[in-house]
Structure 1
Amino acid sequence: MLAYSCHQFDNLSAETPIVVFLHGLLGSGQDWQACIAHLKNLPIITLDLPAHGHSQAIEPEDFVTVCQQVEQTIISLVPTHHPVVMVGYSLGGRIAMYGIAKHLFNELNLIKVIIEGGNFGLEEEQARQARWINDCQWAERFENEPIERVLSDWYQQPVFSSLNHEQRQTLVAKRSDNLGASISRMLLATSLAKQPALLAELAKSNIETHYICGEKDNKFSQLAKQSGLSFSQVAGAGHNVHHEHPQAFAREILHQFKLASASNQQQQESPWLKQ
């Protein structure tokens, strides 16, 4: 079972959905603390994905195994049939989308998934091959070099261009607790090169998917706009919205939570809607 933390479970009711947060590569459940501070009335579970945080000793194998570990951990904590809203950032978002598209979360009463900056998958074989070469190079560096040095270069990638120097240094210091060899294995096990294109299957799912991206995150804003999914942008934010603007991100989560709760309540009161 994955490491986890539960928040605000004291007054849990049968009707109130539980929000489950999945962090990105190099992160942990602690990443969501600033956001959770603005969600004081919601029951929340944060997970540490394999090879991260207090789950560092758990070996990542592939997308299927990671999705199974996520589901099994949630099942152990959440009452049967209790509604769940899942929030995933970057890698966590890709895991959430994979689990939905491949029907790996069937034991959960998942009523909505919220994706922050997650890639739907690469359509072209050439792009997948190029991504695999790139991920292998990073994985080798994480395996063999001091992690502080690798992280300094990692956060220079174009996707993090909205970060200033101070923000980059903060992230390098924060992420240096990771074990380079563990991150290397997770990077290869869940590489975007190994992820099929998921958008078509997500569109067919009866689980609503909402996408959140930063206004300055041009790449993922374009992906969101072209996806056909409901999406929202956070002004002034880049790729890591919940880190850069936790209060604004929390407002988006709360809004989507209320929509999901109302929809779920309506279905409970009108069983014919499920037919």
Structure 2
Amino acid sequence: MASSSTFLRANDIVQHYVLHPSSNSSANTPTVVFINALGSDLRIWNGVVANLTDHAQVLLYDKRGHGLSDAPHGVFSIDDYVDDLIGLLDALAIDDVTVVGLSMGGLIAQRFTARVPQRIKALVLSGTAARIGTDAGWATRMAAVEGGGIEAIVDDILKRWFTQPYRSAHDADVGGWRNMILRTPANGYLAACGAIRQADYREQAGSITTPTLCIVGDGDGSTPADVVRETAVLIPGARFAVIEGAGHIPSIKQPAIFADLIIRHFRHAGVF
């Protein structure tokens, strides 16, 4: 079965997803689901997928307000994004998963783990934390978008996402990712900012029993290594890894290293 870009309606919204089949056709083949960062779509994982399909089927999807999924207007919480994921998994008849969450996707992954721990076998948190940013910082970002659109903040985002050497050496690639950010619906971006601003899972982190790996790029300008390490300390038994030469989106800058860390962790957790 070949991968295909597909749509379904779950939790009352149209969701865009791609399910990459595994070359291992065993009935016990696990599913790895990737959850995107704020302002990104499922294409940020393209460099990682081929490294994983020998071990698992891979589910990519666009969260609400991003990519080709619906962008409903309103104020949302991280729980709304979790409801979307649960609805998607139910619609696809996928009972349990291993989860890789990046940035905002890591918040969704943490809350998913807290709400339905029986459905998750292992967890990878990349460039994320139990609490991301400050109320003031998010208020400033949202005001900038409300006043000037995503165009007003896109160049600052790229500096946080990618190291200076990468931006200098990959001008066309960075331009493409810039286009991706700019094409995120403003209402979807703002709703996601509001959800992140509300989320604080520092107390919840100590209750996570799922085997967890926390990853960060050494040049991450959004959630620096110290911030990610603080969350790793809160989660019992969590492992911590730094990827050299990567910014906030290591799946783009260092996909092979990122995939290898995921595979090693899932083997350690007994999933692969």
Task: Verify same fold: TM over 0.5.
Answer: yes
Q: Residue 253 of structure 1 is aligned with which of 242, 252, 262?
A: 262
Q: Is the 8 A contact 1:87 1:115 kept in 2?
A: yes
Distance 1:118 1:255, change over 3 A: same
Q: In structure 2, how many angstroms separate the alpha carbons of the residues matched to 1:28 and 1:6?
A: 15
Q: In structure 2, how many angstroms separate the alpha carbons of the residues matched to 1:58 and 1:139?
A: 17
- Structure whose alpha-carbon radius of gyration is higher: 1
Distance 1:116 1:14, change over 3 A: same
Distance 1:248 1:150, change over 3 A: same
Stretch of structure 1 that moved more, 231-240 or 166-175: 166-175
Q: Deviations over 1:98-142 (max 9, x none)?
A: 2223x2x35x520111011012116xxxx743234223224314x
Q: Residue 238 of structure 1 is aligned with which of 238, 244, 247?
A: 247
The aligned residue for residue 172 of structure 1 is: 178
Q: In structure 1, how many angstroms separate the alpha carbons of the residues matched to 2:260 and 2:228?
A: 19
1:76 aligns with 2:91: yes
Cα RMSD for the two superposed structures:
2.6
Compute the displacement of 1:25 (Å): 0.9
Q: Deviations over 1:136-178 (max 9, x none)?
A: 224314xx43x44542343245x65545242543321333332
Q: The residue matched to 2:216 in structure 1 has which SS?
A: strand
The amino acid of 1:169's aligned partner reads: G
Q: The residue matched to 1:13 in structure 2 has which SS?
A: coil
Compute the displacement of 1:9 (Å): 4.6
Q: The residue matched to 2:206 in structure 1 has which SS?
A: helix
Identity %: 21
The aligned residue for residue 61 of structure 1 is: 76
1:195 aligns with 2:199: yes
Map 1:1-275 onto structure 2 (within 5 A).
1=10, 2-9=15-22, 11-41=24-54, 42-59=56-73, 61-80=76-95, 83-101=96-114, 103=115, 105-106=116-117, 109-121=119-131, 128-141=134-147, 144-145=148-149, 147-157=150-160, 160-162=162-164, 163-165=166-168, 166=171, 168-188=174-194, 190-191=195-196, 193-196=197-200, 198-217=201-220, 220-226=224-230, 227-228=232-233, 229-260=238-269, 262=270
Distance 1:170 1:50, change over 3 A: same
Distance 1:237 1:154, change over 3 A: closer
Stretch of structure 1 that moved more, 57-66 or 23-32: 57-66
Q: In structure 1, how many angstroms separate the alpha carbons of the residues matched to 2:131 and 2:246?
A: 23
The aligned residue for residue 270 of structure 1 is: none
Q: Is the 8 A contact 1:148 1:172 kept in 2?
A: no
Q: In structure 2, how many angstroms separate the alpha carbons of the residues matched to 1:134 and 1:45?
A: 34
Distance 1:153 1:235, change over 3 A: closer
Compute the displacement of 1:90 (Å): 0.6
Distance 1:152 1:132, change over 3 A: closer
Gap regions ≥5 residues in structure 2: 1-9
Distance 1:49 1:88, change over 3 A: same
The aligned residue for residue 5 of structure 2 is: none
Q: Is the 8 A contact 1:211 1:231 kept in 2?
A: yes
Compute the displacement of 1:213 (Å): 0.9
Distance 1:87 1:138, change over 3 A: farther
Q: Is the 8 A contact 2:17 2:60 kept in 1?
A: yes
Compute the displacement of 1:43 (Å): 0.6
The amino acid of 2:227's aligned partner reads: L
Gap regions ≥5 residues in structure 1: 266-275
Compute the displacement of 1:72 (Å): 1.4
Q: Deviations over 1:191-222 (max 9, x none)?
A: 3x2111x2442232221221011123375311
The aligned residue for residue 6 of structure 2 is: none
Distance 1:241 1:170, change over 3 A: same
